[in-house]
Amino acid sequence: MAAERIEHRACFGGWQDVYRHASDVLGCEMTVGVYLPPQAEHGPCPVLYWLSGLTCTEQNFITKAGAQRYAAEHGVIIVAPDTSPRGEAVADAEGYDLGKGAGFYVNATREPWSRHYRMYDYIVDELPAWVEANLPANGARAISGHSMGGHGALTVALKNPGRYRSVSAFSPIMAPSQVPWGQKAFTAYLGEDAVAWQQYDATALVADAAERLPLLVDQGGADEFLQTQLRPQLLQAACAAVGHPLTLRLQPGYDHSYYFIASFIGEHIAHHAHALKG
């Protein structure tokens, strides 16, 4: 896919760029943030894919998380795409938790969503193909995300053994089939058959995961969505039942915001850099 660079800003010795491109998978134009660390001028670097949460675009992460400092330190490219298809022809709904800004990183099978809402294929196939053909990327991949994006990171990693060297999440929707956000989105995008939802639910996927890729999850103890939408104890129980490695850290006092992400993003990038270069 051809891409046009629409933002280019010096940052910690590297460059924070934003690209716009036509997506064949999604049938619309998309934007994606790309941070190139200073090491990229001298050779290919590993890539960390970041998936953002409900209502977000690529701008939330690249302007609020403070990740560029740590990516420059470790020599990691960060690719942060938008969260859903956009444009006048793309289906939408009232409210923030369905439609534009709420793609949920699934391949929709129900109308009117199935024409454009194929974020799973976009993240797994189309976007990495462009990254590795056009950026100084060496083929080593990691994935992370927040909230809806944390759900996306976990499920994408669990469904694609060998593709990612590490995975982490901030406040992910850990059991979307069992909470209102996920149930609303899955009913619209996938239909009412709850069995079909399991293919995008981390708590179900760990049971049969072909690769025991360790999961790193940070959760704010003062998160307003902790017990209603996130429910980390469900993922903890699912991993314990099958012996899937999980590091679940409850961080007292932190909420669901980017203040939380900014406080621990350095630790996550260091975690991924270790795996990407190991």
Nearest to 172 by CA among 241, 272, 271, 260: 260
Give the whole-angstrom CA distance, residue 31 versus residue 234. 34
- The Cβ of residue 160 has, within 10 Å, a number of other Cβ atoms equal to 17
Whether a cis peptide bond, with omega within 30° of 0, leads into 180 is no
147, 168, 171, 177: which one is catalytic? 147
Instruction: At 264, list the tokens.
Output: 């621990």
Whether 87 and 131 have beta carbons less than 8 Å apart is answered as no
Task: Work out the burial of residue 102: count CB atoms within 10 Å of its CB; fewer than 13 is exposed, 13-18 middle, 19 or more buried.
Answer: buried
Angle, helix 67-74 to helix 258-277, in steps of 10 degrees? 10
Q: 107-114 — which CB contacts under 8 Å span 24+ positions?
A: 108/188, 108/189, 108/190, 109/189, 109/190, 109/191, 109/196, 110/188, 110/189, 110/190, 110/191, 113/188, 113/189
Answer yes or no: 208 catalytic.
no
Answer yes or no: 256 catalytic.
yes
17, 201, 218, 223: which one is catalytic? 223
Answer yes or no: 146 catalytic.
no
74, 244, 256, 272: which one is catalytic? 256
CA contacts within 13 A on the Cβ side of 22: 4
| Residue numbers annotated as active site | 147, 223, 256
